[in-house]
Structure 1
Amino acid sequence: MKFKTNDDVILHYTDTGDEDKPALIGIPGIGGSCQMWQDLIALFKNDYRFIMLDPRNQGQSERTYRGQRISRHAVDLEELLVKLNLHDVVAIGNSMGAANIWAYLSIYGKGRLKAMVDLDQSPKMIADKSWKYGFKDLTWDNYPDMLKFDFGKAFYHHIDEKMFLAAKKEYQEFPYDPAENYNCLVEHAEQDWRDMILDTPVPMLVIAGEKSPFFNPEFTQAIKMLNQDVQTAIVPECGHLPQAEQPEKTHEIIAEFLKNLKN
């Protein structure tokens, strides 16, 4: 399914279509594939409507020079929620997908969301004296040049073969060029979302991968120090893609969080 944004970009999304069920919306990280969410979607399907949004410039969404900034991605999310006439949605973001949701909260407040789940994304990408849990070894000294390098594989644990091959096929049909989305990655890296941890307008769950090649999972402890009401969890034997590497454990953690949300 597709829709056109107010800046004339065609975005792709999927929807399990169970309109009588509470809604979840997933957003993959930069360059990520919605195919890597299929096992998690299947685990939630009995109880929830599950929507996936391909951010602009990746997946099956249009490639464009327009809107290579996190704030625009937040507006894209709002426009999809408006189109589908959804309220009280739980947004789940992996990697930069989580930053898109923090941007949404910073612009719209609670908006159309009920809660947020972050899958392995530190609220600050660049490490400095105030925050040591950035992306790999990214500092102001090597920013932004380091972002041009190959980051290596994102996962640690084996990913289901069927799901992996589906993502590979999608990449072949809809190639992703990191160079064309570099400006967005740079803008993403500059952000500091700790204020949205401190003053979050919705309940929040932050999940880290124990073996993430990108982030030290101890950033979850630092988040608890910022706001003890934010729920945190670390998924064992898991890299940067909890939804794909450990879907059952990730489902268990998120389901418990959802169960405890106030209606």
Structure 2
Amino acid sequence: MPSITTSDGVRLDYRESGDPAGRPVVLLAGFLAPATSWRYQVDALGAAGFRMLALDLRGHGTSEHRDSGNSMARRAADLREFLVALALRDVVLVGGSMGGNTIWAYLDAEGPELVSQIVIIDQTPKMLNTTGHPGEAGWPCGFYGYTEANRHTLFGSGVPETGHGTPPQKRGRRIVRMLGATGSGGSPVSVLTSALRSVLAKHELTTGELELLHNHAVADWRDVIAASRLPVLFIAGRESEFWPAGHAAASALLGGNPAACSIVIENAGHATNLEQPDEVNLAVLEFLGPRVREAAVGGRG
């Protein structure tokens, strides 16, 4: 498997497929999810002529695990070093969950020079809900139940259950799709545990994982979004377990970016790209430009 080594000596693995001469699409998975969770997008976008690069950031998937570097800033630096190491330009960045806010952390630190378009899948830019002050709008699109009152405690032992989202009877489909998408790396049991433990909140997280989760939870990337004029598509799962689907439209309105748009995928929870891959792929391909839309379905295989 190809890899790069970061400036602080951490090995980052990635998977490459699609057209080597195509426009690069870099895929960043969410908290504890492996790069293989992008299987359905890799197939569809690769069939449409893109160069697909699914990156396992540090501590995720098959990349090296370290006790250091558990912050959004370090993830942003790792992404920059990856783009530079592969000499990538005109890059489409696609991030799901924490992978989405990693993109904003990268833009905040490095600017938009290497990036041409962005896709964010079911990730609010601010997880903390606020009511606002006089003359200042609040933010009701954060993590369910996360407020100033429990700012430093809600994620103290992991990702809590919210009581929202995909009904339990529908979750079987999510598990089947996740196993199918990641079955090439490790046993089904280990893959399921690695990819879904943050969602199911039944895994005892390491100190480093908790540090990263807290750093992610307290961040606010709305000003970065507001300042950007890059084309960006915000995708929300209607039945997300973590936040209201309205976060996508609210994010697209930040700063009045005319190149920002949003869509809500029905019958999908937080793992939107796995629960409704065809719909997500069609939306992404349409956003990226004139492509063979049928490839989004035919490439899933």
Same fold (TM over 0.5): yes
Q: 2:210 aligns with which of 173, 182, 190?
A: 182
Rounded to whole Å, the distance in 1 between the matches of 2:150 and 2:35 is 31
Rounded to whole Å, the distance in 2 between the matches of 1:31 and 1:241 is 13
SS in 1 for 2:65: coil
Rounded to whole Å, the distance in 1 between the matches of 2:185 and 2:151 is 30
Unaligned runs of 5+ in 1: none
CA 1:167–1:82: 2 relative to 1, 3 Å: same
Q: Deviations over 1:138-195 (max 9, x none)?
A: 1121122211245359984524352254467277279756223110111111111111
2:249 maps to what in 1?
Answer: 221
Identity %: 29
CA 1:128–1:114: 2 relative to 1, 3 Å: same
Rounded to whole Å, the distance in 1 between the matches of 2:44 and 2:83 is 23
**1:67, CA displacement in angstroms?**
1.1
Q: Deviations over 1:215-241 (max 9, x none)?
A: 100112322432352110000100111
TM superposition score normalised by structure 2: 0.80
Q: 2:231 aligns with which of 187, 198, 203?
A: 203
2:220 maps to what in 1?
Answer: 192
Rounded to whole Å, the distance in 2 between the matches of 1:205 and 1:125 is 19
Aligned AA for 2:91?
Answer: V
CA contact (8 A) 2:25 2:94 kept: yes
Aligned AA for 1:250?
Answer: V
Q: Deviations over 1:31-57 (max 9, x none)?
A: 112222101111111211110111111
Rounded to whole Å, the distance in 2 between the matches of 1:254 and 1:50 is 14
CA contact (8 A) 1:125 1:192 kept: yes
1:48 maps to what in 2?
Answer: 50
SS in 1 for 2:149: coil
2:201 maps to what in 1?
Answer: none
After TM superposition, list the pairs within 5 Å mapping 1:5-154 onto structure 2.
Answer: 5-16=6-17, 18-46=19-47, 47-129=49-131, 130-147=138-155, 148-152=157-161
2:181 maps to what in 1?
Answer: 163
**1:107, CA displacement in angstroms?**
1.1
Unaligned runs of 5+ in 2: 132-137, 195-203, 292-301
Rounded to whole Å, the distance in 1 between the matches of 2:262 and 2:192 is 34
CA contact (8 A) 1:155 1:241 kept: no
CA 1:74–1:125: 2 relative to 1, 3 Å: same
2:273 pairs with 1:246 = no
SS in 1 for 2:107: helix
SS in 2 for 1:114: strand
CA contact (8 A) 1:36 1:244 kept: yes
Count how many residue pairs are aligned between Structure 1 and Structure 2. Answer: 261
CA contact (8 A) 1:24 1:91 kept: yes
Q: Deviations over 1:36-90 (max 9, x none)?
A: 2101111111211110111111111111122111111111111111111110110
Q: Root-mean-square deviation (CA), in Å?
A: 2.4
Range with bigger deviation, 90-99 or 16-25? 16-25
Q: Deviations over 1:83-139 (max 9, x none)?
A: 111101100000110111001111111131111110000010111122111112111
CA 1:168–1:238: 2 relative to 1, 3 Å: farther
CA contact (8 A) 2:143 2:242 kept: yes
Aligned AA for 2:210?
Answer: Y
Aligned AA for 1:126?
Answer: L
SS in 2 for 1:51: strand
CA contact (8 A) 1:23 1:90 kept: yes
Rounded to whole Å, the distance in 2 between the matches of 1:98 and 1:68 is 16
CA 1:93–1:224: 2 relative to 1, 3 Å: closer
Rounded to whole Å, the distance in 1 between the matches of 2:82 and 2:180 is 29
Range with bigger deviation, 197-206 or 232-241? 197-206
**1:7, CA displacement in angstroms?**
0.7
CA 1:144–1:260: 2 relative to 1, 3 Å: farther
